[in-house]
Amino acid sequence: MLDLFEAAGLSGDGAPVSVVPVAAPKNVTPRDVAQLGSMRAPSARIETTELNANVASVGPRANRVDNLSPSYPKRARWGTASNLRAWQAAALEKYRAKCLTPGPDGAAPSDDFMAVATPGAGKTTFALRVAAELLDQGVVERITVVAPTEHLKHQWADSAAKIGIAIDPNFKNENKVIGKHYEGVALTYAQVAANSALHLETTLHKRTLVILDEIHHGGDSLSWGDGIREAFTPATKRLCLTGTPFRTDTSPIPFVTYELDTDGVRRSKSDYTYGYAQALSDKVVRPVLFMTYSGLMRWKDSAGEVFAANLGEAMTKAQTQQAWRTALSPEGEWIPAVLRAADQRLTEVRRLMPDAGGLVIASNKTAARDYATLLHQITGKKPTVVLSDDGTASQKIEDFAASKDRWMVAVRMVSEGVDVPRLAVGVYATSASTPLYFAQAVGRFVRARRRGETATVFLPSVAPLLGLASAMEAERNHALDRPKAETDELLDDAALEAANRNESASNELNGKYEAMESRAAFDGVLFDGAQFGLGVDVGTAEELGFLGLPGLLEAEDITELLRQQQAEQARERSKAAAPSAQSEIDPVMEHRKAAASRKELSKLVAAWSRKSGRPHAQIHTELRRRNGGPEVPQATSADLQKRVDMVREWFLKGHS
């Protein structure tokens, strides 16, 4: 059969030749594909002794990979840019042992390998090193890269070109053939699903390494999973990559190994894992400070009933969603206040990182445009706006990455895999709440270029996001058979995503409602699983103290500075709360002081509840037991101040 990749339409001397298209197999089913194992392209004839010798050798392309930054294109490991990072070298050795070396019982080397590495760690460099070795050794003849988006296809092609591997990112299914000067092609998951038979035919013709970037997308839909299974089951080798190997559904992901856990749930098993905590310890990625903001929200539901609540308070799931959406409304005061704070933070970061940029991640196109207008008013400069249906989106991202512009606003387009290393400040202005999406979004800001760089992400103070931020260093695996209770506390991201695709549907999410008012309050900073700050109004000196933290800090220095800032905040509060002779005799002043103390105590108890995981009522009960006095509504300002001081002390000590 005609090789689809080499039938470029030209003869050896460049003269045109006629090409007879190959009829693609029809009605290919998973069972048909399962029977193709014996039909795969002929393997290279490499004897065991020769293979073992080749494992230790590298060819010219593999040598060129060593000259890439360990996390191409601009993030070399400190002082050792010509070498692979330690994790990349270790993963490569595991790959060679599993996929290039026969087993002790004579078993054939494995065809599959799955590497999990936190965003920004350098998965692309690792994969290209594997690809270069397999091409140089003759194990494979062709590379197929499958990525989630069009933009990522071009990023892969650019990276591969640096080491002399020519990959075509512009290949379309209707083209059927590609110039023979290419050694591979970059596709999207949707592209494979649209014509899996075409890509199956291509896989059968040449010994192929398939690189499945962000393999968790193989579970996005039945068609995507079936597509890559049908097209790439006969591949010579498959390399699965992901930075977030978990999902909130139970869709099986092709080419991923699952094992029964002690709880009876089948969980994915990677061959090599390099998590955020380890990467942070190795100083490969930036530490992330989460600036959290609450505030009073008021909204009206479809029945005309008006609700008022502080963002982050204990509410039903529906009320939490509506309060959250009220905060994100550009017509209120919350989002403008948070954008102003984020821009102040960006100004501080740019003192030591002059090209640092910021990214606002919006829920939908309308919100993105509104946020861009607000940023224009705040900064005096129009930000870059990237929308998924914009044909120039990829070019806009590349232009922004190469510039020194301050802000970009995007709708999910920049949530995964897109490489803009100068992004250092983010605003999470979306209601998406799955661990997968959150980790990918935060991953846009952790790509370190020089030692000491930090990242700052501004968050609404809602339990789902605070929980995800606190668990940044946790490693999760994709679980099948997951009990529904595991995801009950997360908001319904699928419904929100559907609303994002059709903006007119947004009012139907949780019923129609009307955002009436939103105010912002600075809760504090989440870092390394701990909370710092005692809750203040926006625009105060206390908030500015946290926003003004230096942009270049080692992780251990961040913790110490946050503790110092919190201690200073507590000292200033104590001075301001000192009783005066006037307040002791003026009942009006007592009334005002008690109201202010109740408000402060409420914020502190909410913050301690998030930190400790204990219910508000339990904390109030302990404070009353240890300090005396009546319940909060009847307590005097002196009673309340004792409780306020005790919670502050808990924050300083780290325990109650």
DSSP symbols for 275-319: -HHHHHHTTSB--EEEEEEE-EEEEEETTS-EEEEETTSS--HHH
pLDDT of 603 higher than 70: yes
Give me the sign of the Cα torsion angle 556, 560, 565, 566.
Answer: positive
Rounded to the nearest 10 degrees, what angle do helices 123-137 and 150-161 cross at? 60
Going by C-alpha positions, the residue among 388, 394, 438, 439 that lies closest to residue 420 is 394
CA–CA dist 410, 420 (Å, integer):
13
pLDDT in tens, 146-177: 998 888 899 999 999 999 999 999 999 998 88
Higher per-residue confidence, 229 vs 75: 229
pLDDT in tens, 433-459: 877 788 888 888 988 888 889 999 999
Contact call for residues 154 and 169 (beta carbons, < 8 A): yes
180: which residues sit within 8 A by CB, 6+ positions away? 5, 6, 8, 10
CA–CA dist 157, 136 (Å, integer):
18
The separation between CA 226 and the C-alpha centre of its own chain, rounded to angstroms, equals 25
CA–CA dist 349, 328 (Å, integer):
25
297 phi and psi angles, rounded to 5 deg: -120, 140
Question: Structure tokens of 105?
Answer: 């019982």
CA–CA dist 52, 61 (Å, integer):
19
Contact call for residues 337 and 293 (beta carbons, < 8 A): yes
Q: Does domain 288-558 have CATH number 3.40.50.300?
A: yes
Mean pLDDT lowest for which of 19-23, 532-536, 607-611?
Answer: 19-23
| Of 39-48, 281-290, 613-622, highest mean pLDDT | 281-290
Give the pLDDT mean for 231-238.
96
473 pLDDT band, cuts 50/70/90, is: low
* pTM for the predicted model, two decimal places: 0.67
Residue 4, pLDDT score: 33
Instruction: Output the CA angle 521-527-528, nearest 5 degrees.
Output: 155
Give the pLDDT mean for 410-423.
72
CA–CA dist 319, 506 (Å, integer):
15
Residue 400, pLDDT score: 94
Contact call for residues 551 and 453 (beta carbons, < 8 A): yes
Quick one: which H or E segment has residue 272? strand 272-274
> In the chain, how many H helices and how many E strands?
24, 21
CA–CA dist 428, 476 (Å, integer):
22
Parse the chain into domains and list their residue ranges. Answer: 30-36+44-281, 288-558, 577-653
Q: Does domain 30-36+44-281 have CATH number 3.40.50.10490?
A: no
